[in-house]
Structure 1
Amino acid sequence: MAAVTTRVRIAVAGLGAVAQSVHLPLILRRWDLFELAAVCDLSPSLRDAVGAQYGVPAQRRYGEVDTMLAEADVDGVVLLTSGSHGDAALRALSRGIAVFCEKPLAFTLAEADALAEAEAALGRPALLLAYMKEHDEAVWRTAELLADADGVRAAEVCVLHPTGESQLDFANLRPAPADIDPAALDRLREDSERLVDAAIGAGTPERLRGLYANIVLGSLVHDTSLLRALFGGLVGVDGARAWPDDAFPPSVEVEGWLPGAVRARMSWHYLPNYPAYEETLVVHHARGSLRLTFGTPYVLNNPTTLEVVAPPEHAVPAGVVRSTFVSTDESFENELVEFHRMVTKGERPRAGVAEGRADILTSQRILRALAGGDLLSGEATR
């Protein structure tokens, strides 16, 4: 039986698919680390249904994040809302409340800089950037092997992305709510448009705006962060394309350089009828290759497989040219455990504000490459 440690009182903002399928079940699983003290969602019916399911009293079910932060008496907040998390995270940090922040951290560098100032004022680590692949045991093993690799030449990421609905068929999600105030949705859209204007410029074509907010920062950022965690991140983007022109989401391909003259390619393909989500990272070096294969992220404890091709003296285990390491550790749970350590022990997380800012900067460079002859303005021109 797990030992009861210092329990962290947390609130969850945003009760949609990822909350219902992943984070809330894991918070319940880790009763030894967390007490779910409050929930928040724009939908009254959803926050009441989920609140009742998880034993959150009616007076601790909120419709506004700021009200929840002011009233709920929590140590941390899990931000699972859509769009940029910059404003909500800043409001939490300004109250001394630690933040577990799902993707993306923010839409703009200015938001990230404001978060860095707020965290510095607290004098302790207070924001964990929750990109689950950075908390995958197989990724950690890959990092160990790369540290001994000789002459890394190339890293290639490929994502095969069916519909979100097909990925979540198993999860028995609650029906999409129909009771959200339209005015609240309008305000969210206006806020997002304003931030995209600041990032890539007002008047930018709608396709580019959608690519930035929904694809590059909304999904591809997981792969940006994976390359950052393993190699230090893209130091240059020298090509990007999106096709076909008459489809959205399209396929997106990005080419660039990692530190040490390592060539990188990221390919992201939205394929609505593809049998199942799949993501691979293949690294080639002078003495072998490493291949990571990730499964559907919403399925808890879904295995991640690392295949190693190496000469006998470097293979795992020794004497085997091809070997496989399989991790069933739950990366989403590892994130929560690390968040608990950050809150209770002051440990710096694997990724925080600085890493989130680096990912935003890389995303803006990708958007510049995707824009081609279209003119951008705002932060993306710096």
Structure 2
Amino acid sequence: MTERVRIAVAGLGAVAQSVHLPLITRRWDLFELAAVCDLSPSLRDAVGDQYGVPAERRYADVGTMLAEAEIDGVVLLTSGSHGDAALRALSHGVAVFCEKPLAYTLAEADVLAEAEAALGRPALLLAYMKEHDEAVWRLADLLAGVDGVRAVEVCVLHPTGASQLDFANLRPAPADVDPKALARVRADSEGLLDTAIGAGTPQRLRDLYANVVLGSLVHDTSLLRTLFGGLVAVDGARAWPDDAFPPSVEVDGWLPGTVRARMSWHYLPDYPAYEESLVVHHAGGSLRLTFGTPYVVNNPTRLEAVSRPENAAAGGVVRSEFVSTDESFENELVDFHRMVTEGQRPRAGVAEGRADILTSQRILRALAGDDTLTGEAAKS
């Protein structure tokens, strides 16, 4: 294996087109795009032509690609659980760059942990880009020096995905996906949801788990894990209104050290722009992270600190700001390259992904209320 990692991309939709493929090309010094995979023949040919991937290295099936293509790593951007595709990759000795979610079930995560252990090296990076944001790292450094953290508040204002990606000039949604292949993917997803939260669970709860709690809110779950160790208890959750989907979702719980946490996630189709903030209130002030639209490359993340002056007798308020223009999606690709070439453990891997699945099941259990869950979530 050379220092340039031969990489494949599975799933050529919006995130691949707007972020990952351009960044892989920009980091020509680290990566060679060696193969692509998608259920749509027209999409894999269009993307393959655009990025110079030979026709014989364009695949409809992840398993076939892993068996035939000469690659060192795979970027999993397909929809739904990535558990099966990640396991296939690890079984071929191929390192995995895994977008959200890692998997739908704890059982999938446990099998992945066994497969990675059998390789004897780190081989799966959990690609939640906010964990690779320089402003998040700076916040972690600041938290190490403060006392008396009392509360953490997260708020996400989420317009439509299309409005967030207007700038990206995405290719039209393909109409040539094999319906049988799509039906198999959906059937696999339904079976995993049965395992995770129980067969017969109301459809709204199934959609909340797959598309909201694991599909988006998991980014904030992972931030709380990265910065504070994660939610140790979920003692309340609600979703409203009943006649809209996706709805607003609010989660209350505890972080280690008796710190209260609240996550508020609001899908607002006509909201003018995506906004996300994480605010920490501690005995001596506050710390606020503000994220921009995630798919705009090098969009600044702002970290603001409010505190008293060092000379407390002077009175007044000190406000400072750190602005990061490092690209978090690029940072995680660099982290992946180090994992593959140097054996360096990534910031988050299978164990962290499993912890996020466990928290997500606890959130869904709180959302279910009187609708009793079975499956793994009944015991989580």
Q: What is the TM-score with the length of structure 1 in the denominator?
A: 0.97
List alignment gaps of at least 5 residues for structure 2.
none
1:138 corresponds to which residue? Answer: 135
2:180 to 183, 193, 197: 183
Name the CA distance, whole Å, in 1 between partners of 2:321 and 2:294: 20
2:109 corresponds to which residue? Answer: 112
Name the CA distance, whole Å, in 2 between partners of 1:75 and 1:188: 25
Name the CA distance, whole Å, in 2 between partners of 1:168 and 1:320: 39
Identity %: 86
Matched, 1:86 2:76: no
2:292 corresponds to which residue? Answer: 295
Name the CA distance, whole Å, in 1 between partners of 2:267 and 2:130: 19
> Displacement of 1:114 after TM fit?
0.3
> Displacement of 1:225 after TM fit?
0.1
1:36 corresponds to which residue? Answer: 33
Question: Matched residue of 1:18: which SS?
Answer: helix
1:76 corresponds to which residue? Answer: 73
**Deviations 1:271-308 (CA, angstroms, capped at 9, x unpaired):** 00000000000000000100000000000000000010
**Deviations 1:2-58 (CA, angstroms, capped at 9, x unpaired):** xxx810000000000000000000000000000000000000000000001000000
Name the CA distance, whole Å, in 1 between partners of 2:29 and 2:287: 36
> Displacement of 1:310 after TM fit?
1.3
Name the CA distance, whole Å, in 1 between partners of 2:285 and 2:21: 40
2:13 corresponds to which residue? Answer: 16
Amino acid at match of 1:119: E
2:191 corresponds to which residue? Answer: 194
List alignment gaps of at least 5 residues for structure 1.
none
2:325 corresponds to which residue? Answer: 328
Matched, 1:205 2:189: no
Matched, 1:167 2:164: yes
Amino acid at match of 2:130: K
Name the CA distance, whole Å, in 2 between partners of 1:311 and 1:37: 54
2:120 corresponds to which residue? Answer: 123
Amino acid at match of 2:86: A
Question: Matched residue of 1:204: which SS?
Answer: coil
Amino acid at match of 1:201: G
The structure-2 alpha-carbon separation of the partners of 1:157 and 1:314, relative to structure 1 and needing over 3 Å to count, comes to farther
1:50 to 47, 51, 74: 47
> Displacement of 1:312 after TM fit?
2.2
**Deviations 1:81-100 (CA, angstroms, capped at 9, x unpaired):** 00000000000000100000
1:156 corresponds to which residue? Answer: 153
Name the CA distance, whole Å, in 2 between partners of 1:73 and 1:56: 13
Amino acid at match of 1:377: T
**Deviations 1:60-118 (CA, angstroms, capped at 9, x unpaired):** 00000000000011000000000000000000000100000000000000000000000
- Number of residues paired by the alignment? 375
Name the CA distance, whole Å, in 1 between partners of 2:129 and 2:332: 7
Matched, 1:275 2:285: no
CA RMSD of superposed structures (Å): 1.2
Amino acid at match of 1:79: L
Name the CA distance, whole Å, in 1 between partners of 2:158 and 2:310: 37
1:337 corresponds to which residue? Answer: 334
1:227 corresponds to which residue? Answer: 224
1:259 to 256, 259, 279: 256
Amino acid at match of 1:290: L
1:373 corresponds to which residue? Answer: 370
> Displacement of 1:268 after TM fit?
0.2
Amino acid at match of 1:16: G
Name the CA distance, whole Å, in 2 between partners of 1:314 and 1:115: 53
**Deviations 1:318-338 (CA, angstroms, capped at 9, x unpaired):** x97101100000000000000
1:96 corresponds to which residue? Answer: 93
Name the CA distance, whole Å, in 2 between partners of 1:290 and 1:331: 20
